[in-house]
Homo-oligomer: A and B are copies of this chain.
Amino acid sequence: MDVYISGVGMTKFGRSKDSLEKMMAEAASAALKQAQLERVDAIYMGVMNVEEFVGDSNFATLLADTLGLTGVPSTRVETASSTGAGAFEAAFYAVASGHMKHVLALAGEKMTHLPTAKTTRILSEVIDRSERRYGATMPALAAMIAQKYAREFNLSSLKLEDILAQVAIKNHSNGSFNPYAQFRKIITREDYLKSQMVSFPLRLYDCAPITDGAAAIILTSEPTPIKASGIGHATDTAAVRHRASFTSFNSTKEAAQKAYAMAQLNPCDVQFAEVHDAFTLFEIIGTEDLGFFSPGEGWKALEEGITHLRGRLPINPSGGLKARGHPVGASGLAQLVEIVYQLREEAGKERQLERTEIGLAQSIGGLGNNNLVTILERSDRKRIVKQGWSPDYHPEIKVLKKTDHPSPPEGTGILETFTTLYATPEGFLSPLTIGFVKTDTGEMVMACNPDYRSPKELKMGKKVYLRTREGLYVFEKFTLWDRLKHRLKKQPKNN
Q: Which of A56-80 contact B (CB under 8 A)?
A: 56-58, 60-62, 64-66, 69-80
Q: How far is the CA of A80 from the CA of B51 in the complex (A)?
A: 11
Instruction: Give per-residue flags for A82-93: 1 if the beta carbon is below 8 A from chain B beta carbons, else 0.
Output: 000010011011
The interface residues of chain B lying within 8 Å CB-to-CB of A80 are 57-58, 60-61
- A52 interface neighbour in B52, B99, B370, Cβ under 8 Å: B52
| Contact of A365 with B61 in the complex, beta carbons under 8 Å | yes
A128 adjacent to chain B (CB < 8 Å): yes
Tell me, yes or no, whether A237 is within 8 Å of chain B by CB. yes
Q: Does A323 touch B at the CB level, under 8 Å?
A: no
Q: Name the B residues within 8 Å of A128 (CB-CB).
A: 62
Docked Cα-Cα span, A78 to B125, in Å, equals 18
**Sampled A-B contacts (14; CB under 8 Å):** A55-B125, A56-B129, A57-B122, A58-B125, A58-B127, A60-B78, A61-B80, A61-B369, A62-B238, A70-B237, A71-B234, A74-B370, A75-B77, A94-B97
Q: Are A58 and B365 in contact (CB under 8 A)?
A: yes
Cα A239 to Cα B52 in complex, Å, equals: 21
B235 close to A99 (CB less than 8 A): no
Q: Is A48 part of the binding interface, using a Cβ–Cβ cutoff of 8 Å?
A: yes
Residues of A within 8 A of B (CB): 1, 42, 48-49, 51-52, 55-58, 60-62, 64-66, 69-80, 86, 89-90, 92-94, 96-100, 122, 125-129, 233-239, 242, 250-251, 254-255, 262, 365-366, 369-370, 397, 399
A58-B80, A58-B370, A61-B236 are known; give 8 further A-B pairs, CB within 8 A.
A42-B233, A51-B125, A56-B129, A60-B370, A76-B79, A90-B93, A93-B99, A94-B97
Please name the residue on chain B nearest to A47 by beta carbon.
Answer: B78
Chain B residues whose CB sits within 8 angstroms of the CB of A49 once the complex forms = 51, 57
Tell me the complex Cα distance, A401–B240, Å: 53
In the complex, the answer to whether A126 meets B238 with C-beta atoms within 8 Å is no
Q: Is the CB of A74 within 8 A of B70?
A: no
Could you tell me if A61 and B99 are in contact, using CB atoms closer than 8 angstroms? no
Q: Once the chains bind, are B56 and A370 in contact (CB under 8 Å)?
A: no
Instruction: Kindly provide the distance from the CB of A264 to the nearest chain B CB, expressed in whole angstroms.
Output: 14
Q: Is the CB of A262 within 8 A of B65?
A: no
Question: Inside 8 A of A238's CB, which chain B residues have their CB?
Answer: 58, 61-62, 65-66
By the criterion CB–CB under 8 Å, are B90 and A79 in contact? no
Question: Closest chain B residue to A258 by CB distance?
Answer: B73
A79: B residues at CB distance < 8 A? 58, 60-61, 74-76
**With A and B bound together, what is the CA distance between A79 and B60 in angstroms?**
7
A233–B78 Cα distance when bound, in Å, is 19
Least distance between A58 CB and chain B CB atoms (Å): 4
A251 to chain B, nearest CB (A): 7
Asked whether A75 and B90 contact (CB < 8 A) given A65-B235, A96-B97, A99-B96, the answer is yes
Interface centre among A64, A255, A262, A399 (most CB of B within 10 A): A64
- Check A366–B61 contact: CB distance below 8 A: yes
- State the CA gap A148–B99 with chains docked (Å): 37
Check B71–A251 contact: CB distance below 8 A. yes
The answer to whether B236 touches A71, judged by C-beta atoms less than 8 angstroms apart, is yes
Chain B residues with Cβ under 8 A from A251's Cβ? 71
- Contact at B126–A235, with CB atoms within 8 Å? no
Cβ of B99 and Cβ of A98 under 8 Å apart? no
B235 to A71, Cβ gap below 8 A?
Answer: yes
Q: Which of B55, B69, B78 contacts A76 (CB 8 A)?
A: B78
Partner of A262, one of B71, B99, B233: B99
- By a CB distance below 8 angstroms, the chain B residues around A69 are 235
Nearest chain B CB to A302 CB, angstrom units: 29
B-chain residues with CB within 8 Å of residue A75 when the two chains form the complex: 77-79, 86, 89-90, 233
Residue from B62, B65, B72, B92 within 8 A of A234 (CB atoms): B72
Known A58-B369, A96-B98, A97-B1: A237·B65 in contact at CB below 8 Å: yes
Q: Are A233 and B73 in contact (CB under 8 A)?
A: yes
Q: Hey, which chain B residues are within 8 Å of A57, CB to CB?
A: 48-49, 80, 122, 125-126
For A236, list chain B residues within 8 Å (CB).
Answer: 61, 65, 70-71
* Inter-chain contacts of A239 with B (CB < 8 A): 65
Nearest neighbor of A48 in chain B, beta-carbon distance = B57
| A97–B262 alpha-carbon span in the complex (Å) | 13
Residue of B nearest to A103 (CB): B93
- Chain B residue with Cβ nearest A402: B68
Q: Which residues of B contact A234 (CB under 8 A)?
A: 71-73
A96 to B52, CA, bound (A): 34
Closest to A253 in B: B71
- The CA-CA distance from A122 to B233 in the complex, in Å, is 31
Distance between Cα atoms of A436 and B242 in the complex (Å) = 55
